[in-house]
């Protein structure tokens, strides 16, 4: 890898005018000198286009209808010239040292193909309200519980990764990044580093908050894809029934929270058909928590 490889960051955007200038500035002001920023806008009707024109000297951008977030990111990655790729949503930001930290780590560890770290949670006013601490990806944990430890805004990967595992799955609406981490983990080494690299904005209007109920259908599709992969290790294949059971149980809990009781019951029934243990564990945990609450109130 050259001493200062080009890093291409793609930003998918649609009506993010309130925040996208912060996203652009966080990339423009990186301590690392060789960054290409590509904004793929889906035809915004707010102030986004005026802001993109303002920063035209620093970014490459297009605005046209697309098929959603994954399609926009894929389009940007295909345009990208960098040896290292990333994507940063139009309401998130990097820490000033993020790109430099990632490039330095990848240069010093040629066997690692993707690196990621920690990120802050921020509100609409860019105030820090929490932190997401990443951890090393573990396939068993990811299959059973969809807990993968990769805060998306902090991920940087070598171009060859996308060339070999493929682009984001446009059929997934919420968990396209999770699907990508699964596919990468089966062919390349991913590494967590304990460094604060980005800020993830979260508030009631964001996709993560307003469409959380769409996660479990995506997770089921990811399981279908993963367990049909011929390269999946035998130890992972042995988890199939438990993985589906946990996923249907989480779907049932999600449906219940939306008061869709029939869908909730059907999902829980499917969970038991695959494996009863997740329901037993979850029920026991719930009863223990209720007992502990009653004890504390006495």
Question: Does any domain span residue 1?
Answer: no
Same domain, 203 and 239: no
pLDDT value of residue 214: 73
Other residues' Cβ atoms within 10 Å of the Cβ of residue 271:
24
Band of residue 215 on the pLDDT scale cut at 50, 70, 90? confident
Question: Does any domain span residue 263?
Answer: yes
Same domain, 60 and 160: yes
- Strand-pair partners of 122: 128, 201
Render 55-108 in DSSP notation, one character per residue: TTTT-EEEE---S-HHHHHHHHHHH---SEEEE--TT-EE-TTHHHHHHHHHHH
Taking the model in full, what pTM does it have?
A: 0.91
Band of residue 234 on the pLDDT scale cut at 50, 70, 90? very high
Nearest Cα neighbor of 1 from 115, 105, 97 is 105
* Domain boundary, last residue among 213, 245, 270: 213
* Domain boundary, last residue among 213, 235, 261: 213
Where is average pLDDT lowest: 53-57, 92-96, 277-281, 286-290? 286-290
Other residues' Cβ atoms within 10 Å of the Cβ of residue 298:
4
Yes or no: say if 113 and 161 are a contact pair by the CB < 8 Å rule: yes
Nearest Cα neighbor of 68 from 49, 91, 41 is 41
- The mean predicted confidence, pLDDT, of the chain is 93
Yes or no: say if 113 and 184 are a contact pair by the CB < 8 Å rule: yes
Mean pLDDT score, 126-153: 96
Question: Does any domain span residue 2?
Answer: no
* Domain boundary, last residue among 213, 240, 269: 213
User: Crossing angle for the helix pair 176-185 and 215-227, nearest 10 degrees?
Assistant: 20
pLDDT in tens, 17-43: 999 999 999 999 999 999 999 999 999
pLDDT for residue 291 is more than 90: no
Mean pLDDT score, 124-152: 96
Residues in the chain, overall count: 298
Band of residue 231 on the pLDDT scale cut at 50, 70, 90? confident
- The CATH number of residue 184's host domain is 3.90.550.10
pLDDT value of residue 16: 94
pLDDT value of residue 205: 66
Q: What range defines the domain where residue 274 resides?
A: 214-297
- Beta-strand ranges (E) seen in 88-208 are 93-94, 114-122, 128-132, 156-158, 190-201
Same domain, 188 and 220: no
pLDDT value of residue 166: 97
Yes or no: say if 189 and 111 are a contact pair by the CB < 8 Å rule: yes
Same domain, 99 and 233: no
Tokens representing 84?
Answer: 């290292």
Band of residue 212 on the pLDDT scale cut at 50, 70, 90? low
pLDDT value of residue 227: 96
Mean pLDDT score, 65-82: 96
Same domain, 149 and 279: no
pLDDT value of residue 206: 63
Distance of alpha carbon 125 from the chain centroid: 22
pLDDT value of residue 42: 96
Same domain, 107 and 222: no
Band of residue 280 on the pLDDT scale cut at 50, 70, 90? confident
pLDDT value of residue 282: 86
40, containing H or E segment: strand 35-41
Based on the structure, what is the number of domains in the chain? 2
pLDDT for residue 1 is more than 80: no
């Amino acid at each position: 890898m050259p001493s200062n490889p080009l890093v291409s960051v793609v930003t998918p955007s649609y009506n993010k005018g309130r925040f996208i200038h912060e996203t652009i500035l966080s990339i423009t002001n990186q301590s690392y000198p060789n960054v290409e920023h590509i904004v793929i806008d889906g035809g915004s009707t707010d102030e986004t286009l005026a802001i993109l024109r303002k920063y035209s000297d620093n970014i490459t951008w297009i605005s046209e209808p697309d098929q959603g977030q994954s399609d926009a990111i894929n389009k940007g990655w295909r345009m990208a010239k960098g040896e290292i790729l990333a994507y940063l949503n139009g309401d998130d930001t990097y820490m000033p040292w993020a790109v430099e930290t990632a490039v330095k780590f990848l240069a010093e560890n040629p066997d690692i193909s993707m690196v990621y770290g920690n990120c802050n949670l921020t509100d609409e006013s860019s105030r820090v309200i929490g932190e997401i601490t990443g951890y090393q990806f573990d396939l068993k944990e990811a299959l059973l519980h969809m807990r993968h430890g990769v805060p998306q805004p902090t991920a940087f990967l070598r171009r060859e990764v996308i060339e070999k595992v493929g682009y984001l799955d446009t059929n997934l609406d919420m968990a396209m990044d999770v699907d990508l981490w699964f596919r990468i983990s089966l062919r390349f080494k991913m590494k967590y580093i304990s460094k604060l690299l980005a800020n993830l904005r979260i508030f009631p209007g964001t996709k993560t908050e307003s469409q959380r109920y769409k996660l479990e259908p995506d997770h089921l599709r990811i399981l279908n894809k993963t367990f049909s992969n011929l390269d999946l290790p035998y130890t992972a294949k042995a988890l199939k029934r438990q993985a589906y059971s946990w996923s249907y149980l989480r779907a049932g809990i999600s449906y219940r929270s939306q008061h869709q009781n029939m869908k909730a019951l059907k999902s829980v029934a499917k969970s038991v058909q695959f494996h009863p243990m997740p329901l037993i564990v979850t029920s026991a945990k719930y009863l223990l928590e209720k007992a502990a609450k009653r004890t504390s109130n006495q």
